[in-house]
Structure 1
Amino acid sequence: MLNATGPWVDHLRRMEDPNAAPSIRLSKGAHLVLKRTSPWKAALATPIDKYRITFALPWEDMLLLGTTDEEYEGDPADVSVNEKDIAQILDEAAFSVRDQQLQRDLVTYAFAGLRVLPGGPGDTAKAKRETVVTEGKGGMLSVAGGKWTTFRHIGRTVMQKLEALPGHPLGDDFEPISSLPKKLPLPGVANPRAVAHRLLVDGPAPGSRMAADTAKHLATHYGSLAFDIARMANENPELAERVHPDAPEIWAQVVWARDHEWAETPDDVLRRRTTLTIRGLATDEVRAKVQELLDRK
């Protein structure tokens, strides 16, 4: 059995062995998303102390600020952004960002997550972002930590360890990890500019032209898979309409999320697979229509 449950990894380890010692600790990181007051193209990093940096990043035509770094000992399911986090992020950003860009009414979204760090003493800001792999008394392999940039290395390491366990838990028909290619492109990998150009040339429907911001959005989020979404919009003009006038997403993306990305709820679509929620545009009307499309499956 493989335990890859992130911040809950030790919870499962204690289900296997109530005496299992902690293998990880948690660090909370919060971010804010703000509307821009002026054009913003460059990423800005500002040192706060010897270990921490605060960022101001252009993201989805908005501004992303953060992050915090403090030890978290509560239930992972309860992690959220509080007033202290908001004040800290805005105060630290003020070292480098103009005041008019940091007004509270520009904040459209706030979110927090948990970093899974190796167990040990000291400030979480100083802890290394390493992967923790442990094997329990019952044979459960647990993996936690690491970074997004190393996810393939982590996956390969875990698969190699699973292969070596008694009884070969992956099964005799499983292809050895050593025989798999070390470089395998993700689905839809393509040059975003080339994809956006073709979307603009082809258009979403006969005699019409896709908006430039929608073409750019589809190209950067889906790569060459954007052509399949555009094809749906071409076949059904209603799906070529914007989900909200102030966002680049079109209704074809909702259908794509439903049919190809396992979306089951409005939050799956609006918060996890499009940018509507982070833009503050997930209105009741939008949610109702998204639910209607999801129900058609």
Structure 2
Amino acid sequence: RLVLNATGPWVDHLRKMEDPNAAPSIRLSKGAHLVLKRTSPWKAALATPIDKYRITFALPWEDMLLLGTTDEEFEGDPADVAVNDKDVTQILDEAAFSIRDQQLSRDLITYSFAGLRVLPGGPGDTSKAKRETVVTEGSGGMLSVAGGKWTTFRHIGRTVMNKLAALPGRPLADDMEPIAQLPKKLPLPGIANPNAVAHRLLVDGGTPGPRMAPETARHLATHYGSLSFDIARLANDDPALAERIHPDAPEIWAQVAYARDNEWAETVDDVLRRRTTLTIRGLDTEDVRAKVKDMLEG
């Protein structure tokens, strides 16, 4: 009875399918990031102003260094967004204002990625545009939502649900209690103190199997929270799943089984790039990829 268009950078593509004369509601800004191996210990998050509107940042992440970001208008096919040499040069040059040169060698780059910010339509530089949510209703009744930030996704969802509930004759208006009456604070799955989870994994995680390595316990605790115990049980039941996927990363094979059976992972990249850090670390070797493929198909 209602089409909700929440397609991110493709939102105006769908709006034009509904109404070829629909005016643009958003514009796109490309942001690129680099991940580098560290050359020395790094614990603090560092932000360096570039101009009145932009900063460059350096963040310790997964024992590596995350650098970024760029901000430039993007007008191509959203499916084609990618990091190019210009992006790499800009990120490294801007990072050089506050980071030593030896940490910024291109040889240290293990991964790069780019995404598109969906911003309200309007004139001016994208770096000056507000990160607001845009909600529009088309001539055919389709409701479109775009913009905002990952950190406000719950607020965006609530905004859309309230809008749906207010539409006359819509299912939510007739069949459901007002969304505003729902609890505003609901815990995310697995939410727990990571230090407490890691401690319990170290104490109990090896029973009855081999003792879990501290770096693996910490990795599981910070990525899965209390769901880590489900993964630990898999490793305890099958010692092969307690082995590391790659010796230079903390992930274990139980995470692959968990991703396959509980997180809808279907492809090798689903596991290595989207549910573990192997690809981002530059450790998705052909041998690792083949073994993950066998586990997914088995």
Structure-2-length-normalised TM-score: 0.97
Task: Name the counterpart of 1:107.
Answer: 109
Number of aligned residue pairs: 296
Is the CA contact 2:35–2:280 (under 8 Å) kept in the aligned structure 1? yes
Pairing of 1:1-297 with structure 2 (within 5 A): 1-170=3-172, 172-206=174-208, 208-296=210-298
Is the CA contact 1:204–1:240 (under 8 Å) kept in the aligned structure 2? no
Amino acid at match of 1:282: D
SS at 2:44 equivalent? coil
RMSD of aligned C-alpha atoms? 1.1
Q: Could you list the per-position Cα deviations for residues 151-170 of structure 1 after superposition, in whole angstroms to 9, with x for gaps in the alignment?
A: 11110110011112233144
**Structure 2: how far apart are the matches of 1:173 and 1:223?**
35
**Structure 2: how far apart are the matches of 1:174 and 1:78?**
40
Is the CA contact 2:167–2:173 (under 8 Å) kept in the aligned structure 1? no
SS at 2:198 equivalent? helix
Q: Could you list the per-position Cα deviations for residues 132-159 of structure 1 after superposition, in whole angstroms to 9, with x for gaps in the alignment?
A: 0000011110000001221111101100
**Structure 1: how far apart are the matches of 2:89 and 2:259?**
35
* Structure 1: tracts of 5 or more residues without a match: none
- Counting aligned pairs with the same residue, the percent is 84
Is the CA contact 1:135–1:142 (under 8 Å) kept in the aligned structure 2? yes
**Structure 2: how far apart are the matches of 1:274 and 1:189?**
18
Is the CA contact 2:209–2:239 (under 8 Å) kept in the aligned structure 1? no
* Structure 2: tracts of 5 or more residues without a match: none
Using the TM superposition, give the Cα deviation of residue 239 of structure 1 relative to its aligned residue in structure 2, in angstroms: 0.5
Is the CA contact 1:205–1:235 (under 8 Å) kept in the aligned structure 2? no
Structure-1-length-normalised TM-score: 0.97
Task: Flag as ranges the 4+ runs of structure 1 deviating above 3 A.
Answer: 169-176
Using the TM superposition, give the Cα deviation of residue 178 of structure 1 relative to its aligned residue in structure 2, in angstroms: 2.5
Using the TM superposition, give the Cα deviation of residue 176 of structure 1 relative to its aligned residue in structure 2, in angstroms: 3.4
**Structure 2: how far apart are the matches of 1:221 and 1:167?**
42
